[in-house]
Structure formats: C-alpha cells, structure tokens
Amino acid sequence: MRTLRSTRRSVLFGLAGAGLLFLACDSGTAPPDELVGTWDATAIVVNGHDFTGDGMTLTYTLSANGSYSYSVTNDFFDYCDPGPDCSDSGDFTVSGNQITFDPGTAWEETYTYTLAGTTLTVSAVFGGATFTITFAKQ
C-alpha cells in the first residue's frame, strides 16, 4: 500500500542514507552483503532538526533478493499520509553509490548514500528542504 507522500518519502529515504542500502549491484545482481539486513534510523534530520529526538522512528530492511520494506512510527513531519505510523515495501537496485527504490514505477526514487562499517547515511534536498538520515545496522 502506498501511504506516503512521494516528497516525504523521498526526503526520509533520501535521508536514510536514505537509503541504507547500497553498494554496487545492478539489475539481476544481489546487493552487497554489507547492505543486506535491517537498518534503524539513529538520526532523521530535516532542515537541522532531528526528529528522532521527538520520538520518530524509521526502520528499513534490505533483502538479498532486491526487495525492501520499511516502517515509520510517530511521524512528526507528514512522511506518512495518513499517519502517524505507516509501512511499505517494494524492490530496489544499486549502482555505484546510488540506490533506486521501486525502479520502473511511478514511485521510483534514486538516492546517493555513504556506508562506513555498520553506519549508512543518506542525504538529499527535496522541495528546498535538506534531509539527512543516518542508520545503524541491527
């Protein structure tokens, strides 16, 4: 079910180091082992404000078969529509330092990410707002 506004989802996930998910993997290739797993947001920063301090949570799970799922609780900036909680799932691909969620669909979104050990960071600018999401691997 698509319950997120595309812009909010772009922001959050873009942030989520946006993605969390992603080193070099192209269509038909399994994502790197380092990206496969469950990632919890440790910081969801939008225009300098960290929403995790307000109790918002975001968790992404990236699977070796190229599928993902996420859940949000206590949404404080309209990521969920409606909220305050939501979840979704789909497919993703990885190419270089970019991850694309829902490739080939109306919800397709591509993010740039960095991965350092068990920390994933995704940053993006959407609608003039700067988003950075940092994840820790479970």
Contacts of 138 (CB under 8 A, 6+ apart): 37, 38, 39, 40
What CATH number was assigned to the domain covering residues 6-137?
2.40.128.280
Considering the chain, what percentage of its residues have pLDDT values greater than 90? 52
In the chain, what are the domain boundaries? 6-137
pTM: 0.78
**Residue whose structure tokens are 């996420």:** 70
Q: What is the pLDDT of residues 109-133, one digit of tens each?
A: 878 889 999 999 988 777 788 888 9
Burial label for 39, CB within 10 Å (0-12, 13-18, 19+), is: buried
Q: What is the pLDDT of residues 57-73, one digit of tens each?
A: 999 999 999 999 999 99
Residues in the chain: 138
CA 29 to centroid of chain Cα atoms: 20
